[in-house]
Structure 1
Amino acid sequence: MGFGFLKRGGSGADAGIPPERKASATGRVVAWQGGGRAVWSSRDVVSLTRAGFSGNPVGFRAVKLIAEAAAALPLVCQDSACRYEQHPVIDLLARPNPAQGRAELLEALYGQLLLTGNAYVEAAGLGGDGLPVELHVLRSDRMSLIPGTDGWPVAYDYAVGGRKHRFDMRTGATAPLCHIRSFHPQDDHYGLSPMQAAAVAMDVHNAASRWSKALLDNAARPSGAIIYKGPEGQGSMSSDQYDRLISEMERSHSGAHNAGRPMLLEGGLDWRPMGFSPSDMEFQKTKEAAAREIATAFGVPPMLLGVPGEATYANYQEAHRAFYRLTVLPLAQKVTAQLAHWLAGFDVTGADAVRIAPDPDQVPALAAEREAQWRRVSEAEFLSDSEKRQLLGLPPRPEPRHGADADSDEAEENSA
């Protein structure tokens, strides 16, 4: 690693002095130290999202698959007494804001959580029932947490275009912002995303894709060597000859459109192809292994992503069931529980707080499991009806009314 400098000018004795070549004394050390060292992409949220989601098909499909599946889950709204078909919380989630429905809002929420490890929901305005008028998902890369003296967050700053808006969290139960984060063992305030865990595999997969593209641009074969065999006494090419040769190679013999074009060598030039082939490097196997690691980090069976070489599950149906049972349902249960707890703080009536949860009975991929569970519970004669309903996640059945209350109800029905 050295740069030669030609000493120009001067006269007399200086004219006969050969060119002076200067090089750094540490050039060889730096060159050897940097050789073979892996170069990784940045680990900030914006760079990871660009490289792992926008620029990687496996990461993109994994995030979309989880977010869309979780957002499409049917939700139930119930309290300790009954399950509601109509409720202000149901209406709010059905149309959280004028631009989004429930599926769009939840897909953005799950996407932010998978890409960054953090998701933020803003409450805009208050309605007559005490609930927010609108809900909005905010970008995690624009949000920063402000901790207080005790370590708990006291505010959040949302920065856009050089301007900041502060959400004050010291407003009692009606917090203007809901922060949902993934588990992070080394951070008290921010979550760890699957994208960060899969960052190394993302780099390997992207590098293998770039390698394959470079091979296609060079006629899908590794480059060879041009050996110069000039006249005796001339051991190297002149600068003009070298520049013309490089220009001719780039113009007429590089790229897929020049594949197979014969090469005309003159002036003592000889072509010697390299001795290895792309199959020797096994880049395709490396790329597939990296794709499986990305899928593993997100909890998606590689079979569902079309990654070859995966035989963990016997068939597609088993992989689909495992995907919902191990990845989609736990994520949806965590997010909806935290949303319900946050929205309960807006209830000014003091009524029993409702719970929001996905309904596994309406998930087609889990139909066989739920059918077997219902059969086992219904055939258990040692369980009462209330215990069976509790095991199946149903609220207790309302007790029948007796005496004067039952007579008044019957009279009301007859009059109606």
Structure 2
Amino acid sequence: MRLSRKVTTPHGRGRKEWTEPPFWQLDLFRQSWQTGSTSDRERIENDFSGYVQAAYKTNGVVFACVLARQLVFAEARFAWREFTDNGRPGDLVTSPELALLAKPWPSGTTGELLARMESDVSLAGNFYATTVDAAGNVGRAATGPGRRVVRMSPDRVTIVIGSASGDPDALDAHVVGFDYQPRQGDPVALLADEVCHYSPIPDPAARWRGMSWLSPVLEEIGSDKAATIHKRRFFDNGAVPSMVVTFDKDVQPERFERFRAAMDARHRGAHNAYRTLFLGGGADVKTVGTNLLQVDLTGVQGHGETRIAAAAGVPPVIVGLSEGLAAATYSNYAQARRRFADGTIRPLWRMAAGSLQNLLTPPTVGASLWYDDRDIPFLREDRRDVAEIQFRQASTIRQLVDAGFEAAAVTTAVAAEDFTLLRHTGLFSVQLQRPNTTPPPTDVPTPV
């Protein structure tokens, strides 16, 4: 579904543009998760608030996965980076413009901004933000005192698509801007370069919006909640295998009801588990069904938890899930930590930096926003690897200098990993000189 509208350009010419619907409307798979609940089940709604209420706030595995991502993702800082002439990234530098990210809003921090970004991306697939100032100016016009970053609720943002050819699926189609609909008042129109749009997981059903990692595992989330309800019902209804009580055919309905009420009062619920059962009046008890051990609820629920963690890009041992806490698995924590940092968090940092740069003005033309992860305790083991790499580089530098290469060129070549930058002095180690072949120095004064 696309919505079309006529837009007047600043030059007065009319142009047709289209808007992408909110992030859930194209996902037909989620139609089975529409709002609905009964006394013993709860389904995730196919909108942002549904993901928040029915998944994030009521499912411990989803919450733990989002929290694990948040706690590490929020540790980064930002700096500017330029590329050298040989195409390699240069040193990280700072500028006064970065104060907007260091304190994105009054009493706010970079960590809180990153935590909000991660929360919205996990639950909606998209994070939107722009800038405002104390005078109420928005976007690029927000240059006055009190300039701050403001988050835009993802379920209130519409991506506006423009195409000069009149076809939103044409090759020249592009994002013109964003419409934000507040709870009250008129929509606010923002140009594409005035909004930070962070969407690390592309939605294959749309060209520009992102997708929540929760979407592929909705069934696992529902199964996990059902298993939790099953355990709760087990304790609520007896904490022992289900029983069938039969009576003689001559028992009157009134006596049956009194016996049933007394049975429930004395033996139903976890607080009545394992109490001795006394029967009379021709009652007979038979055990039916299975217990939790026979169902292997731990194994069944553990597999579902692992699938949820896999969709989140978080190894189970990092989250603390049951399948990741076995001795053999827990011994591989270092490998799991590196997988989580290199395969999930660092790509997210890179994309977040590129998205946030829309809100800033680079100090130079070639500068780009980058993340600084050098002081993050979670990555401390990586610093040891860096130190080992630097030690090997220092050894390489010394060997090349001893071999007669120019010291400055050696340092540049090793840092750039490009040995074509080496330049030789023409001088060699004495071990490479033939005896009595070294020419006498020419700068020695002639004796008088």
TM-score > 0.5, shorter chain as reference: yes
Change in 2 beyond 3 A, CA 1:129/1:372:
farther
1:297 aligns with 2:311: yes
Give the 5 Å matches for 1:146-225: 146-148=160-162, 151=168, 152-161=174-183, 163=184, 165-170=186-191, 174-175=193-194, 177-181=195-199, 182-225=201-244
Q: 1:357 aligns with which of 350, 370, 374?
A: 370
Q: 1:68 aligns with which of 71, 79, 92?
A: 71
CA distance in 1 between counterparts of 2:232 and 2:224 reads 12
1:330 aligns with 2:347: yes
- Contact kept? 2:70, 2:119, Cα under 8 Å: yes
Question: For each residue in 1:343-397, what CA deviation from the matched residue of structure 2 results, as whole angstroms up to 9, or x when unmatched?
Answer: 35x56x9x425322223444413113323433444445577433444469xxxxx
Post-superposition offset of 1:328: 0.8
Q: 1:385 aligns with which of 411, 416, 420?
A: 411
Match of residue 78 from structure 1: 81
CA distance in 2 between counterparts of 1:304 and 1:189 reads 31
TM-score normalized with structure 1 length: 0.72
Match of residue 47 from structure 1: 50
Question: For each residue in 1:264-290, what CA deviation from the matched residue of structure 2 results, as whole angstroms up to 9, or x when unmatched?
Answer: 444432221226322111111111111
- Contact kept? 1:336, 1:357, Cα under 8 Å: yes
Q: 1:270 aligns with which of 257, 281, 284?
A: 284
Stretches of structure 2 that go unaligned for 5 or more consecutive residues are 1-40, 85-89, 134-139, 169-173, 401-408, 419-448
The number of equivalent residue pairs is 342
SS in 1 for 2:242: coil
Match of residue 367 from structure 1: 383
Post-superposition offset of 1:54: 1.1
Post-superposition offset of 1:63: 0.9
Change in 2 beyond 3 A, CA 1:201/1:269:
same
One-letter identity of the residue aligned with 2:70: A
CA distance in 2 between counterparts of 1:292 and 1:301 reads 8
Change in 2 beyond 3 A, CA 1:66/1:365:
farther
Match of residue 7 from structure 2: none
CA distance in 2 between counterparts of 1:187 and 1:154 reads 15
Identity of aligned residues (%): 23
One-letter identity of the residue aligned with 2:359: L
CA distance in 2 between counterparts of 1:221 and 1:157 reads 57
Post-superposition offset of 1:61: 1.6
1:226 aligns with 2:245: yes
Question: For each residue in 1:102-156, what CA deviation from the matched residue of structure 2 results, as whole angstroms up to 9, or x when unmatched?
Answer: 1111111122112221101121136897999110223223333344455344454
Stretches of structure 1 that go unaligned for 5 or more consecutive residues are 1-37, 393-416
1:134 aligns with 2:148: yes
Which has the higher relative contact order, 1 or 2, with Cα contacts under 8 A spaced 6 or more apart? 1
TM-score normalized with structure 2 length: 0.67
1:285 aligns with 2:299: yes
One-letter identity of the residue aligned with 1:145: I
CA distance in 2 between counterparts of 1:369 and 1:52 reads 38
RMSD over aligned CA atoms reads 3.2
Change in 2 beyond 3 A, CA 1:128/1:50:
closer
One-letter identity of the residue aligned with 1:364: R
Change in 2 beyond 3 A, CA 1:372/1:184:
farther
Post-superposition offset of 1:330: 0.8
Post-superposition offset of 1:204: 1.7
SS in 2 for 1:51: helix
One-letter identity of the residue aligned with 1:178: C
Post-superposition offset of 1:263: 3.9
One-letter identity of the residue aligned with 1:202: I
- Contact kept? 2:42, 2:54, Cα under 8 Å: no
Change in 2 beyond 3 A, CA 1:165/1:127:
closer
CA distance in 1 between counterparts of 2:311 and 2:266 reads 44
- Contact kept? 2:244, 2:285, Cα under 8 Å: yes
Change in 2 beyond 3 A, CA 1:63/1:53:
same
CA distance in 2 between counterparts of 1:313 and 1:183 reads 32
- Contact kept? 2:124, 2:154, Cα under 8 Å: yes
SS in 1 for 2:187: strand
One-letter identity of the residue aligned with 2:187: R
- Contact kept? 2:236, 2:268, Cα under 8 Å: yes
Match of residue 338 from structure 2: 321
SS in 1 for 2:323: coil
- Contact kept? 1:157, 1:165, Cα under 8 Å: no
CA distance in 1 between counterparts of 2:175 and 2:265 reads 60
CA distance in 1 between counterparts of 2:158 and 2:208 reads 10
- Contact kept? 1:154, 1:168, Cα under 8 Å: no
1:104 aligns with 2:130: no
SS in 2 for 1:79: strand
One-letter identity of the residue aligned with 1:352: V
CA distance in 2 between counterparts of 1:230 and 1:128 reads 84
